[in-house]
Amino acid sequence: MYLNAQLPSLRSQWGRPYHLWITQDFDEKGWFHLGKSKTLGRTHDVALYVQDPGGRFALMNHHTTPPGFQRAQGAGAAPGESFQHGVKRSAKEEIGLEVELQKFVLHVTLDVRHAGDLTTWETVAFSAAPSPGPEAVGKQVQWATASQLEELARRLREGGDGALAYRARLAESYLWALEHPLTIKEAGERMMAKIEASSAAKDPLVGHVRDPFWWAAEVHGLYGGAVGVRFLPDAMLLVGLNVHPMFRGRGIGHALVECAADRLQDQAFLDSLGPGMAKAAKGGLWVSADSSGYYMPSGFKTARAGQAPPSVIQALKAALREDKPVLHFAP
């Protein structure tokens, strides 16, 4: 399954997840298992957190975890198989449960380092519930409360193994994301007031803060951050990305960028904004960044400033940013 190509549709169907980008050192064993998967053409895994009506999580033994340690079930789809069907089939095969997918909770882009080498791995984490019916018999399933899962993550992290430390970070991040549902939508007046008071108002590429089209993130009704887009004569320019200090490091920034990129690929949405947007859309979505690497997990690729459409080049010069990296959205 080519996960990256399916991410927009997964976000559309199952909700917008937090998207973390982290780095982890692996030892020789962990690097070997990762390389083996990549040799088979797989660069991702699906973590399925099955939770029963009592709030317990279904955990399983795995060949990469030591005795006495369990992890969330891994799932995936075979070539030609739909994501939903593949995940449900995997759950039945691995833990003996019929499950129903609920929500796309977390996406992690992991940069793995080992002996001077670097490779990238993607994990998508979904919540799920057992389908009505009896529990499985004869399957290696252990049910754990959230606090027990947190304790297991702590023990994994303290073991000193990089691959296990990543699984611990994944579980901890998932639990936090599950308890802090993320909502991203077009910014209304209440959120616009927050944007005007944020660092976005100081972004020289924004211009007048009310001119761009904005999306805002909320967590339990609190302002989480925002991103805007300027519709130029021959291109679209992503501007004003900001995350509230309370939520930095949780994956809101990438989630905002992906929301904008997804929506700006939707012709019906562009048409709803009025005439002239089609021409801007043909020039593509561009962003000027202090760190070009930040936008790459969200589908952007570096380009030379001279490759950008004339209106983007003009905007960069006016903002005194012609010497900064420029990236183009290329899904």
Sheet holding 300-303, edge to edge: 182-186, 213-219, 222-231, 236-243, 285-288, 326-329, 300-303
| DSSP letter string, 246-314 | GGTTSSHHHHHHHHHHHHTT-HHHHHHT-TTHHHHHHT-EEEE-SSGGGGGGGTEEEE-GGGS-HHHHH
* Segment 79-89 mean pLDDT: 86
Give dist(CA 207, CA 236) in Å, integer: 14
pLDDT in tens, 215-241: 999 999 999 999 999 999 999 999 999
The pTM for the full model equals: 0.94
d(CA 170, CA 176): 10
Handedness of CA 140, 146, 150, 153 (dihedral sign): positive
- The 10s digit of each residue's pLDDT in 108-129 is 999 999 999 999 999 999 999 9
pLDDT reported for residue 1: 45
Q: How far apart are CA 114 and CA 265, in angstroms?
A: 37
Which domains are delineated in the chain?
3-179 (3.90.79.10), 182-329 (3.40.630.30)
Residue 301 has pLDDT above 70, yes or no: yes
* Total residue count of the chain as it appears in this document: 331
Q: Say which residue the tokens 């549902």 belong to.
A: 181
pLDDT of residue 274: 86
Give the relative orientation of helices 162-179 and 146-157 as an angle to the nearest 10 degrees: 150
